[in-house]
């Protein structure tokens, strides 16, 4: 994700709400939101997997919808409300999804985990009764090469039941 040496275009100033905080940043207009989060803002919880919209590792929540942050420009964040994995846990604790992922061992290498958590949180906020097929379909845009998915699905179901 290195920038080209030719910086012929001017940086743009962007104001947004990031994990509940008013945030302003200056970034080259062609940088993805993922690059801005990780490199400009130092929020490295959001991971780069494929960088072309297949794997979902970079999933963030923008105005209530999950998006792949590699498929959105940082400049597009102007005026938006964004939540990353850093905004998922309440102060001093874990989100029920994070706790369930730990208890169900729903992760191994961990690269996909922030994306799964942000996606699953958006689902349970919209559909608190989501059943297993719905959870699997919703998470189809998040790939995991380690777990075989079953443990992730069980963790989401467990969090769903505990959040009721």
Partner 1 sequence: MHPYQYIPATNITEAVSLLARYGPRARVMAGGTDLLVQLRGERYELDAVVDAKAIPELMALTLAKDGALSIGAAVPCYQVYEDEAIVAAFPGIIDAASLIGGIQVQSRASLGGNLCNATPSADGICPLIVHSGVVTLTGVGGTRTMLVEEFTTGPGRNALAHGEMLVKIDLPKPAAHFGAAYQRFIPRNEMDIAVAGVASAVTLDASGQKIESARIALASVGPTPIFAKKASDFLAGQPATEETYAKAGEVASTEATPISDMRGTIEQRHHLVGVLTRRTLAQAVQRARGNS
Asked if 73 is part of the footprint of partner 1 (rule: CB under 8 A), the reply reads yes
CA 3 to chain centre: 23
Span of 16-24, 91-99, 138-146, 150-158 interacting with partner 1 by CB under 8 A: 138-146
Question: Which residue stretch of 38-46, 64-72, 106-114, 146-154 sits at the interface with partner 1 (rule: CB under 8 A)?
Answer: 64-72
Q: What number of CA atoms fall less than 13 Å from residue 97's CA on the CB side?
A: 22
Q: What are phi and psi of 58, to 5 degrees?
A: -95, 15
Q: Which is nearer to partner 1, 63 or 103 (CB)?
A: 63
Q: Determine if 21 is a binding residue for partner 1 (CB under 8 A).
A: no
Q: In the complex with partner 1, which residue's Cβ is closer, 123 or 155?
A: 123
Q: Does 85 bind partner 1 (CB under 8 A)?
A: no
Full 3-state SS string of the chain: CCCCCCCCCCCEEEEEEECCEEEEEEECCCCEHHHHHHHHCCCCCCCCCCCCCCCCCCEEEECCEEEEHHHCEHHHHCCCEEECHHHCCCCCCCCHHHHHHHHCCCCCCCCCHHHHHHHHHHHHHHCCCCCHHHHHHHHHHCCCCCCCCHHHHHHHHHHHHHHC
Stretch that binds partner 1, among 15-23, 41-49, 133-141, 146-154 (CB under 8 A): 133-141
4 scored as a contact of partner 1 (CB under 8 A): yes
86 binds partner 1 (CB under 8 A): no
- Under the binding rule (CB under 8 A), the answer on residue 119 touching partner 1 is yes
Q: Contacts with partner 1 in 89-118 (CB under 8 A)?
A: none
List residues binding partner 1 (CB under 8 A).
Answer: 4, 6-9, 12, 28-30, 32, 51-54, 56, 59, 62, 65-68, 70-73, 75-76, 78, 119, 137-138, 140-142
């Amino acid at each position: 994700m290195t920038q080209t040496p030719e910086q012929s275009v001017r940086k743009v100033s962007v104001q947004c709400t990031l994990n509940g905080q008013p945030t302003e940043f200056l970034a080259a207009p062609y940088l993805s939101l993922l690059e801005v989060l990780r490199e400009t803002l130092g929020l490295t919880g959001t991971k780069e997997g494929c960088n072309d919209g297949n794997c979902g590792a970079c999933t963030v929540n923008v105005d209530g919808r999950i998006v792949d942050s590699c498929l959105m420009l940082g400049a597009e964040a102007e005026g938006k409300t964004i939540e990353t994995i850093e905004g998922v846990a309440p102060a001093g604790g874990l989100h029920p999804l994070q706790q369930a992922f730990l208890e169900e061992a729903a992760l191994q290498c961990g690269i996909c985990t922030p994306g799964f958590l942000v996606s699953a949180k958006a689902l349970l906020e919209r559909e608190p009764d989501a059943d297993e097929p719905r959870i699997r379909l919703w998470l189809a845009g998040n790939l995991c090469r380690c777990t075989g998915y079953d443990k992730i699905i069980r963790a989401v179901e467990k969090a769903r039941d505990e959040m009721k």
